[in-house]
Amino acid sequence: MTNGFATRAIHHGYSPLDYHGALNPPVFLTSTYAFERTATGGERFSGETPGYIYGRIGNPTVSVLEQRLAALEGGEAALATASGMGALTALIWSMLSQGDQILADKTLYGCTFALLQHQLPRFGISVRFVDMTDPTALAAAMTPATRMVLTETPSNPNMRVVDIAALADICSRSAATFVVDNTYCSPYLQRPLALGADVVIHSATKYLGGHGDLLAGMVVGSKAVVDRVRTVGLKEMNGACISALDAFLVLRGLKTLTLRMDRHCETAMCLAHDLEAAPQVARVFYPGLDSHPQHALAGRQMKAYGGMIALELKGGLAAGVAFMDALEVVTRAVSLGDAETLVQHPASMTHATYSPAERAHHGFTDGLVRLSVGLEDYVDLRDDLMNGLAMVSRYEQGA
Ligand code: PLP
Q: Select from 202, 231, 255 the last residue of a domain.
A: 255
Average pLDDT over residues 182-205: 98
Q: Select from 233, 255, 277 the last residue of a domain.
A: 255
127: which strand partners?
A: 102
Mean pLDDT of the chain: 97
Query: What dihedral angle (degrees, nearest 10) is formed by the CA atoms of 210, 214, 215, 218?
Result: -50
DSSP single-letter state for residue 236: I
Ramachandran angles phi, psi of 266, nearest 5°: -60, -45
Q: Smallest Cα–Cα separation from 341: which of 300, 304, 298, 388?
A: 388
Residues 118 and 152 in one domain: yes
Residues 216 and 291 in one domain: no
Is 80 exceeded by the pLDDT of residue 110?
yes
* pLDDT of amino acid 395: 77
How many domains are there within the chain? 2
CA dist 114 → 88, 92, 160, 367, 396 (Å): 12, 14, 19, 21, 35
Residues 249 and 296 in one domain: no
- Find the catalytic residue in 54, 56, 131, 255: 56
DSSP character string of 138-191: HHHH--TTEEEEEEESSPTTT-----HHHHHHHHHTSSPEEEEE-TTTHHHH--
CA dist 246 → 72, 231, 241 (Å): 19, 21, 10
pLDDT tens across 335-382, in order? Answer: 999 999 999 999 999 999 999 999 988 888 899 999 999 999 999 999
Residues 266 and 177 in one domain: no
* pLDDT of amino acid 91: 98
pLDDT tens across 201-233, in order? Answer: 999 999 999 999 999 999 999 999 999 999 999
Establish whether residue 205 lines the binding site of ligand 1, counting it when its CB lies within 6 angstroms of any ligand atom. yes
Establish whether residue 89 lines the binding site of ligand 1, counting it when its CB lies within 6 angstroms of any ligand atom. no
Residue 376: CATH number of its domain = 3.90.1150.10
* pLDDT of amino acid 397: 81
Residues 32 and 73 in one domain: yes
Q: Smallest Cα–Cα separation from 89: which of 55, 118, 115?
A: 115
Q: Are strands 177-181 and 77-81 parallel, antiparallel or unpaired?
A: unpaired
Residue 73: CATH number of its domain = 3.40.640.10
The protein residue with its alpha carbon nearest to ligand 1, atom 8, reads 335
What percent of the chain stands above pLDDT 70?
Answer: 99
Distance CA 205, CA 226 (A): 20
Establish whether residue 85 lines the binding site of ligand 1, counting it when its CB lies within 6 angstroms of any ligand atom. yes
- Find the catalytic residue in 147, 206, 228, 359: 206
pLDDT tens across 69-106, in order? Answer: 999 999 999 999 999 999 999 999 999 999 999 999 99
The protein residue with its alpha carbon nearest to ligand 1, atom 5, reads 109
Q: pLDDT higher for 199 or 398?
A: 199
- Position 399 confidence tier, pLDDT thresholds 50, 70, 90: low
Mention every residue, 6+ apart, whose C-beta is less than 8 A from residue 199: 91, 177, 178, 179, 180, 219, 220, 221, 225
Is 70 exceeded by the pLDDT of residue 301?
yes
Establish whether residue 201 lines the binding site of ligand 1, counting it when its CB lies within 6 angstroms of any ligand atom. no
pLDDT tens across 121-163, in order? Answer: 999 999 999 999 999 999 999 999 999 999 999 999 999 999 9
Q: Smallest Cα–Cα separation from 210: which of 50, 65, 338, 348?
A: 338
The protein residue with its alpha carbon nearest to ligand 1, atom 2, reads 109
Establish whether residue 217 lines the binding site of ligand 1, counting it when its CB lies within 6 angstroms of any ligand atom. yes
The protein residue with its alpha carbon nearest to ligand 1, atom 12, reads 84
* pLDDT of amino acid 1: 62
pLDDT tens across 248-271, in order? Answer: 999 999 999 999 999 999 999 999
Q: Select from 205, 239, 255 the last residue of a domain.
A: 255
Distance CA 192, CA 199 (A): 8
Q: Smallest Cα–Cα separation from 65: which of 269, 241, 290, 276?
A: 241
Establish whether residue 207 lines the binding site of ligand 1, counting it when its CB lies within 6 angstroms of any ligand atom. no
DSSP character string of 359-371: HHHHT--TTEEEE
56 is catalytic: yes
Residues 268 and 222 in one domain: no
Residues 242 and 309 in one domain: no
Residues 290 and 143 in one domain: no
Distance CA 194, CA 219 (A): 15
Residues 245 and 268 in one domain: no
Residues 126 and 213 in one domain: yes
Establish whether residue 215 lines the binding site of ligand 1, counting it when its CB lies within 6 angstroms of any ligand atom. yes
Tell me which of 83, 85, 338 to substitute to probe ligand 1's pocket, judged by most ligand atoms within 8 Å of the beta carbon: 85
Residues 237 and 376 in one domain: no
* pLDDT of amino acid 396: 81
Range of 46's domain? 5-255
Residues 248 and 331 in one domain: no
- For residue 109, the CA-to-ligand 1 centroid distance in Å is 7
For residue 155, the ligand 1 atom closest to its alpha carbon is 3
Ramachandran angles phi, psi of 107, nearest 5°: -120, 135
Q: What global pTM score does this model have?
A: 0.98
109 is catalytic: yes
- Find the catalytic residue in 100, 105, 163, 181: 181
